[in-house]
Every structure is written in structure tokens, then in C-alpha cells.
Chain A
Amino acid sequence: NAGVTQTPKFRILKIGQSMTLQCTQDMNHNYMYWYRQDPGMGLKLIYYSVGAGITDKGEVPNGYNVSRSTTEDFPLRLELAAPSQTSVYFCASSYLDSSTGELFFGEGSRLTVL
């Protein structure tokens, strides 16, 4: 299994541009998440999904959109990029079974908005 795969790994955007961060997992996990990580600030939840067709906001959703058309894919869309969205973005997934709470993270996508 490849686990959680994110693309691209690095991207530079100009203010006002849009882009999509791709995330796919091959572990048949129901739950998927997008976090952003800013220096010294830990990880903050942007959006999450409990299954195909179902998404919900996390702590910091403004400026982002998501969709979940399949169990495997959970893309994150940035519209009208702003410097405040410069960050490292991590996609993660987890099992439906609540006996284990482990989140499996992708390698991250470093985004710079200039």
C-alpha cells in the first residue's frame, strides 16, 4: 500500500491564483482530513470527510473548499490565494472503527503565496 499520497509537494502561487491540492489513499479509510501546519502553531483542521459525498468544516475553513466524490480521493481547493495561506498542508485518513484513532498522514504539500 502506498498509504496517503499528496501532490504537489511544493507549489508557489501568486496572490489571487487558484489551485487544487490532491490527496488519495489506498487503505479504504472512510475518514479523511486536511490540516495546515504553520511554524510554531501545530496542526489545524481545515475540513474533514466521513465518507464519499459528506464533508464538513473544521477549525479554519475560510478560503478553502473540498469535495469527496470517491472513498479514495479528497482534494482541497484554494480559491483566490492569499499570503495567509502560505503553509504546509497535510492530508490524513483514518479507519471507521473507533477502536483505533490513528491518523495516517501524507508527506505534506508546501505552499507559498507571493
Chain B
Amino acid sequence: GENVEQHPSTLSVQEGDSAVIKCTYSDSASNYFPWYKQELGKRPQLIIDIRSNVGEKKDQRIAVTLNKTAKHFSLHITETQPEDSAVYFCAASILGILTGGGNKLTFGTGTQLKVEL
């Protein structure tokens, strides 16, 4: 099955700096790579995702890049703010009607991001 590794486990940055979180996956058939943000005591929420036919996707201050050859993808947060402090999870899955099984995500172990004033 799929295995997703995520680094670093903790990341501390100064407000206004950039943060980068990296993930690798093992199954070359995976084609969907989302990032979830989980604030303390809250549910995980999708912040951005990317499909395997796209190399980069951006949404305001966050961006995700994908290298299919190397099987790794990264989350980039620019101009970090205190409200970006949370745990971020990457995930991977094979998404498509033909799989018949919904979207069975395999998650990384999470990165605790702390944005310091």
C-alpha cells in the first residue's frame, strides 16, 4: 500500500517568513495530493490540493509543488502569520471513478508549524 513520509515534524518561523513542508510518497499510481490544516482541538480542513497532471498550484499565500518523477510534493506558505500556526498534514491517494472506492487518503505524520511574533 501507499506510504507517505512528511518532514519536518516541527517547524518554527518568524512572522513574515516563508515555511516549507515536504512529503514523499511510495505508490507511483497515486494521483491526488491534498494538504490539510488542523488547528488545536479542531477537525482537519483542506487548504489546497494538486492532481498528478499539474506541477504547481497556488492559492494566495499557499502553494503546492509536485515532482512525480521523484515522488515528492511540498507545501509553501509565504508571508506567514500567527494564524498559520497549526498542524499540517499531507496525504496521497488514487482518485477516480474507476477505483470505485472513494478517496482513501494515506496521511503523513504531520508538521507542527509555529509562527512566532
Enumerate A27-64 residues with CB–CB distance to B below 8 Å: 30-31, 33, 35, 40-45, 48, 50, 56, 58-59
Assess the B96–A45 pair: CB atoms within 8 A.
no
Answer whether A107 and B43 are a contact pair too, CB < 8 Å, given A30-B102, A50-B101, A98-B96. Answer: yes
The answer to the question of B62 belonging to the interface, with a C-beta cut-off of 8 Å to chain A, is no
A interface list, Cβ under 8 A from B: 30-31, 33, 35, 40-45, 48, 50, 56, 58-59, 90, 94, 98, 101-103, 105-108
The A/B interface has a contact count, at CB < 8 Å, of 63
B interface list, Cβ under 8 A from A: 1, 4, 6, 9, 32, 34, 42-46, 49, 89, 93, 95-97, 100-110
What are the residues of chain A within 8 A of B44 when measuring CB–CB? Answer: 43, 90, 103, 105
- How far apart are the CA atoms of A50 and B49 in the complex, in Å? 22
Assess the B9–A31 pair: CB atoms within 8 A.
no
Answer whether A42 and B102 are a contact pair too, CB < 8 Å, given A98-B96, A102-B46. Answer: no
The residue of chain A having its C-beta at the shortest distance from the C-beta of B89 within the complex is: A42
What are the residues of chain A within 8 A of B107 when measuring CB–CB? Answer: 35, 42-44
The residue of chain B having its C-beta at the shortest distance from the C-beta of A58 within the complex is: B104
Q: Of B9, B46, B95, B105, which is in contact with the most chain A CB atoms at under 10 Å from its CB?
A: B105
CB distance from B85 to the nearest CB of A (A): 18
Q: Of A43, A106, A108, which is in contact with the most chain B CB atoms at under 10 Å from its CB?
A: A43
- How far apart are the CA atoms of A108 and B108 in the complex, in Å? 19
